[in-house]
Amino acid sequence: MTPERVARIRNVLDKRQPDLTVVTDRVTKPHNISAIIRSCDAFAVPECHAVWPDEGFKTYRRRAAGSQHWVKVTTHPCIQTGIAHLKQQGFRVLAAHLSDTAQPYDQLDFTQPTAFLMGAELEGVSDEAAELADGHVIVPMQGMVESLNVSVVAALLLSEACRQRRQAGFFDQPRLSAEHYQQLFFEACYPDLAKRCRDRGLSYPRLKENGDFESPEAFSAAYNAGSHRFLVGVLSKHDPGS
């Protein structure tokens, strides 16, 4: 891990906005989902939410350009559950939806906790989701077309939110909690080791600002002990006599 790489990771984490997110409702095209995830990463969103159109749905990873490793994707069984979850977390849910009450995206305040709800490509936001949302937002059209691609709309909304937040000083200091910052810092610096820790049920070790372990000896002992327990557990599952 070079000093330049650590500095790049810390610069990204320092700007993450934990109270800005996107929730997609049955968006059907994998490349659109992946483009939305990529926009989330580009505009400082650490976590997005999704209701998949079917059980076997996967993002188009090449289009995501690796951003799925930087943005956590939380899934929900239905949009009602997803909206309820976000509201419980204090988010205002704004649906990208043309209605009589919809407001232009550049006339709304996105410095408060905001979740942008994006509907499916053909059907758009469902009537029920539109009713459950706290408000509706639109991107005004100046040409002959009446709508934009769902991923383009998401990018425009996130870009405006970032513009407002930058002006309000939201990027001047880290906004992630210290615990969450450490978690993401370790996963970014040591992705393979982080996966092995999760597989073995081990807590992540704390890192110094330069990415070094605060207590490498303590972590090594905990990791070796955890590896032994993990191996015993795996063998016991395959032991016919156990």
Q: Count the helix, strand and coil residues of the chain and give each as a percent rounded to the nearest 5.
A: 45, 15, 40
Domain boundaries of the chain, sorted by first residue: 17-167, 178-237
* 53-75 tens-digit pLDDT: 876 666 655 444 455 678 999 99
Extended strands (E) in 60-198: 72-75, 92-96, 103-104, 114-118, 135-138
DSSP annotation of 219: H
Q: From the options 3.30.70.60, 2.60.40.420, 3.30.360.10, 3.40.1280.10, give the CATH code of 17-167.
A: 3.40.1280.10
CA–CA–CA angle 74, 11, 91 (5° rounding): 35
| Cβ-contact 115, 93 below 8 angstroms | yes
Q: 94 pLDDT band (50/70/90 cuts)?
A: very high
> What is the structure's pLDDT at 173?
96
- Torsion 44-197-65-116 (CA) sign: negative
pLDDT for 228 beyond 70: no
- Average pLDDT value over all residues in the chain: 89
Tokens standing for 150?
């769902």
231 or 166, which is more confident? 166
- Give per-residue pLDDT as tens, 212-221: 999 999 999 9
117-164 pLDDT, tens digit per residue, is 999 988 899 999 999 999 999 999 888 777 899 999 999 999 999 999
Sheet holding 114-118, edge to edge: 72-75, 47-51, 20-25, 114-118, 92-96, 135-138, 103-104
For the cut 50, the answer to whether the pLDDT of residue 235 exceeds it is no
In this structure, the number of other CB atoms found within 10 A of the CB of residue 48 comes to 25
Show Cβ contacts of residue 224 under 8 Å, excluding neighbours closer than 6 positions: none
Q: What is the pLDDT of residue 54?
A: 75
The pLDDT score that the predictor gives to residue 146 is: 76
